[in-house]
Amino acid sequence: MNEKNLGLVVLIVIGIGGFFVYTNMKNKSTININSTTGATPTGAATKTQSTSIEIKNFKHSPNRLTIKAGATVSVTNRDIVGHTVTSDTAGIFDTGLIGKDETKTFLAPETPGEYKYHCTPHPNMTGVLVVE
C-alpha cells in the first residue's frame, strides 16, 4: 500500500472513530428529569412530583401538569421539528425553540393558578400548567 492510500485509510479510521465518540457524548448529555412513577392517562391531570413535559407527535405530554410554585419544569422534544412551551400570557415562561431530542428547562410561576401555553410555531399544540 503506498503512502497516499495509507494516509487516506488513517483519515477514514480517525473520522469514523470521531463520529462514534461524538454521538456517544451527545447521547449522554441529554437529561430528562421525570420523577413520575407509573403511567399517566393521556389528557389526565397529573398531580405528582413530575416536573417534565415530553413533546412527541406534535403533542405535549402531559398536556395538563400540576406542580408546585417555582418548580423547575424540564421539556424534552422527541419530534424532528422544533417546538416551544410558551405561556399564552407573554413573558411568564418560554423555552425558546427546542430541537430534536433536546431538553430545556424553565421555572414555574410563583403565583398559584392555571397558565395556558402553546407551541409558537404550531399554535394548535396547547397545554395547561397548574401551579399550586
Q: What is the chain's mean pLDDT, rounded? A: 79
Residues 8, 53 share a domain: no
37 within some domain: no
Q: Which pLDDT tens digit goes with each residue over 16-25?
A: 655 444 444 4
10 within some domain: yes
Model pTM above 0.85: no
Count of other CB atoms within 10 angstroms of residue 75: 22
125 within some domain: yes
CATH of the domain at 58: 2.60.40.420
Grouping H, G, I as helix, E, B as strand and the rest as coil, residue 118 is strand
Cβ proximity of 129 and 110 under 8 Å? no
Q: Between 78 and 39, whose confidence is greater?
A: 78
The pLDDT assigned to 69 comes to 95
Residues 23, 51 share a domain: no
The pLDDT assigned to 11 comes to 59
Q: Which domain does 20 fall in, by range?
A: 1-30
- Cβ neighbours of residue 4 closer than 8 Å, sequence gap 6 or more: none
The pLDDT assigned to 110 comes to 96
104 within some domain: yes
Tally of domains in the chain: 2
Q: Which of 64, 70, 69 is nearest to 132 (CA)?
A: 69
Predicted confidence band at 80 (pLDDT cuts at 50, 70, 90)?
Answer: very high
Residues 83, 23 share a domain: no
35 within some domain: no
Residue 14 has pLDDT above 90, yes or no: no
Ramachandran bin of 38, using left for φ above 0, alpha for ψ from -120 to 50, beta for the remaining angles: left
Q: Which pLDDT tens digit goes with each residue over 35-77?
A: 333 334 444 444 444 589 999 999 999 999 999 999 999 999 9
